[in-house]
Structure 1
Amino acid sequence: MAVKDPTAVERANLLNMAKLSIKGLIESALSFGRTLDSDYPPLQQFFVVMEHCLKHGLKVRKSFLSYNKTIWGPLELVEKLYPEAEEIAASVRDLPGLKTPLGRARAWLRLALMQKKMADYLRCLIIQRDLLSEFYEYHALMMEEEGAVIVGLLVGLNVIDANLCVKGEDLDSQVGVIDFSVYLKSDDDIGGKERNVQIAAILDQKNYVEELNRQLNTVSSLHARVDSLEKSNTKLIEELAIAKNNIIKLQEENHQLRSENTLILMKTQHHLEDMENELVVQVSMKHEIELAMKLLEKDIHEKQDTLIGLRQQLDEVKAINVEMYQKLQVSEDAMKEKNEIISRLEDKTNQINATMKQLEQRLQQAEKAQVEAEAEDEKLKQEYVNKSESLQNEFFQKEKQLLQLETDLKIEKEWRQTLEDDLQKEKETVAHLRTETQEIVTLKKEFLKLQEKNKQLKSICEDQEAALQELASKLSESKLKIEDIKEANKALQGQVWLKDKEATHCKLCEKEFSLSKRKHHCRNCGEIFCNACSDNELPLPSSPKPVRVCDSCHAILIQRCSSNVP
C-alpha cells in the first residue's frame, strides 16, 4: 500500500470544502433573493474556509520579539501587483478597530468580496510564485494547482451582492472553525430539493461561463500588467539597494550614539540590559531587513499614528507650558503690586518719621516754655500776686495742651508700630513669593526632565505594545491548536471534557479564576482547577508520559497503585 502525502490530502480536503462552501453560498444567495449581510451563516462559513485555505503551508516568520504566522503579509502584495487593490488596502489600514494582522486580512477579504474582485486579486497573486515563496512552503495550497482551481471557483461569486459592515465586527478575536454540519444533508432532502434547484443551477452555470469569458478577455491586459510589474520590480530592487546603504549608515550612527551614551547608561543600569538585548536582536536580524523594507509602507502608517499621538501630547505640553507661563505672569504681577505697596509703605514711614520729628520739636518747645514760665513765676510771684490766678489758669491750659500732645504722641507711636508690623509682614510675603518663584523655576526644569523621560517611556511602551500584539496573535493560534489537541484527547479518553466557559471557580478550592489564576484541565476527570490544585503529574493509560492531574485524582491514583502492588 502506497502511503499518501499528508499535505496532498490536506489540499484535497480544503479544495472540496471550498467547492462546497462556494456552491452552497451561491445556491443559498440566489434563493435568498436579496443583498447578503455579515450575519448570513453561509457567508461566514465561506470566509472561514478561505482563511484556512490561505493559511495552509504558511511559513512561520521571525518578528522583532517572537514568531509570526499570518496571511496579511501575502495579501499586502496584491496592491503592488494590482493597482486597483490600493483602495481597499488603504481603507483596511485606516480602520480604527483593527489591531492584529489577522483582523486586517479578514477585513480585506470582505472588502474584496463586496468589490467583486476577489478572484482577480488572488489570480495576480498566484501568478507571482517567486514572491509567494517568501510566505508559503513549496507544498502549500497557494503554490499548487488546487489554489488555481479555488481562484477559478471564486469567479462565480461575482453574481452575489454583499453589503458588509467591517467596522462593527470584532474581526481580531473571531475563532475560525469550519461547521461541517452545514454540508451534511440527508438523501431525502437532497432528492426533494433537486427539482427546485435545477433552474438556479443552470443560471449559475450560465453566469459562471460568462464570467470565465470575461476573464479570458483580460489575459492580454494581464500580460501588459506583468511587464509593468517587472519594470516596477527593477525599480524596487534599486530602492532596496539604496535602503541597504541607508541601513549601513544608520548602523554606523547607532554605533556612534552607543559610544556617546555609555556615560548616561552607567546611571541607568537597569535599562542597559534591555538596550543591549535589543541591539543583539537587531544584529541577529540583519538578514530580515530586506523583507522589512517591503513592509515600510505599513510602518509609515503606524508611525503617522504615533506622530498624531505625539502631536496631541505636544499640544497638551504646550497647554501646560502656557498655563505655567500665565502663572508666572500672575506671580510677576503680584510681585510688582507687592513692590508698589512696599514703596508706598516706605513713603508713609518717612512721613511718619517727619511728623514724629515735628512733634518732638513741639514737645521740646513746650518744655522750654514751661521752664521759662516756671522761672518767671518764681521771680514774679511776689511782684505779681494779683496776677497769679491768671497765670495758674494759663498753666492749667498748657498742662492740658501737654496732655493732649502726649496722647497724640502715644497714638502716633502706636500707628508707627502697626505700620512697622505691616512692613515686616509684607517683607515676609515678598520673601515667600521669591522662594515660590525659585520653586517654580526648579519645577519647570523638573517638568522638562520628566517630559524627556515621558518620551523615552512612550517609545518603550510602543515597542512593548507591538510585541504584545504579536504575542497575542501567536497565543490565539496556539490556543486554537491546544483546543484541537484537547478535543482529540477527549475523544480518545471518552471522558466529559469541561469547557472553559462553563467554569468560573476552581472545583476544589472554589477560588475565582482571573488573569493571574489561570484555568487547568485535569487529564483524568476532565474538570477545571487552578494551578495550586492541579500541580501534580502522573502517567495515565491514555498517555504514557506524566500529565497534569488534580489533587483528588492524584490521591486516588496513588492509592490504586499502592493497593495493586503486593
Structure 2
Amino acid sequence: MSEATTPIEIQTSENVNNDRLEAEMEPRPASLSPRPDCEMCNNYEANLTRLQEVERELREKLTAAKQLADRYENELSGERVYRKELEDNFRTLGTDVEKRVTRFQTEHQTLIDKLVAMENKHKLCYDKMVREYTTAAQTCTSLEKDIAYLKDKYLHLLGLKKEKAAELRDQPIDLPQTVEQLQFLCLQLREDLIEDRAAKEHIITDMQNQITVTKEQLREEHMDKRRIEAEMTAQLNAVSHELGVARSKLNTVFAENKEMFERQKMSPAYQQRIEELESQVEKLQHERQTVDRQYAESRQKCSTLQMELDTCETVQKDFVRLSQSLQIQLEKIRQAEQEVRWQFDDDIFNCNNCESEFSTKLPKMHCCHCGKIFCPNCLSHTIPSGPHRRPAKVCNVCHTLLNRESAPFFSKSGNDN
C-alpha cells in the first residue's frame, strides 16, 4: 500500500478512551467488507464499480476491434493472394507471349530466307531454261537453214539436170559417120552417165546422212526441251507448294501477332485493375494501421485501467486486512484490559508478531508503548518520548497508532508478503 493512502486517525495518548476505540473498531461482517458508513470505502466501491464497467466496455470495444482487424486481415490476405495470382498469370502470359513472339520472328525470318532462296533458285533455273531454250532454238534455226540450203541445192542441181537434158534434147544430133566413132561416143556417154550417177548417189547419200543427223538432233533437242519443261514444271510446282506453305505459316504468324497485339491492347486494362487492387490494398493497410493504433491505444488504456483496478483491489484487500488486523488488535486490547500489559521475559518464548522463537543468549526486547515482547526485526521503529524526545522502540501497531504520518503496518506486511 502506498503512502498516499489516508492514515487512520487514532488517539495516541496512553489514557485513550477505550470505549471510543471500541466504537471505531466494531467487528466487520462475515464478508470482511469495509464498514457501510465509511465514506472512503463507499468511494472506493463506487470507483471500483465504475472501473469495472469501463473495463467491460473497453473489453467489448477491444473484442470488436480485434474482430474488425481479423476481418480486414482476412480481406487483405485474400486481396494479396488474388494480386499474387494475377501477377503470376501476367508474368506467365508475358513470358509465353515473348517466347511465341521470338519463335514467330525466328520462323518468319526463316520463311523469308527460304522464300528468297527459292526465288533465287527459281530465277537461276528460269535463266538456265531460257538459255537452253535459246540455244535449242538457235540450233533448230541453223538446222532449218541447212535443210533449206540443201533443198535449194538439190533443186538447183535437179534444175540444172533438166536444163542440161533439155539443152541436149534441143541440140542437133550429130551422130558419128563411122562405127568406131559411134562406139567411141557411146563409151564416152556411158562414162559420163556413170560419173553423173555416182555423183548423184554420193549427193543423195550425203543428203540422207545430213537429214538423218538433223532429225536425230531435232529429236534430241525436242526430248531435251520436254525434259527441261518437265523439270521446270516440277520445280515450279515445288516452289508453288513451298510458297503456299510459307503463306499459310505467314498467315498463322500474322493471326498470332494480331492476337498478341489484342492482348497487348488489353494489358492497360489489366494494369489499371492491378493499380486499383494496389490502391485498395494500400487503403486496407492504412485502415489496418489505424485499427492497430486504436487497438494499441485500447490496450494501453486497458493496461492503465487494469493497473488502476489492481490498485483498487489492493486497496480493498488492504482494507480487509486492516479490518482483520483491527479485529485481532481489538480482541487483544480487550484482553489487555483484563490483565497487565507488561509481559515478563519468563512468560514469553515467541515473538508476538512473527512468532519466531527467541534465543536464550540474547535479551528479550519490550515495546515501550504496549509492553509486549518482540524480536529485533519487529521492534525496529522508534517514537520520540518524554520531554527530552528520546527515541523509544515500539512495535508496528504502536508505531501506526503513535505516528499519524506513517503508513499502516498491515500495508507493509501485505507488500512484504
TM-score by length of 1: 0.28
Which protein shows a greater Rg?
Answer: 2
Higher relative contact order structure (alpha carbons within 8 Å, sequence separation ≥ 6): 2
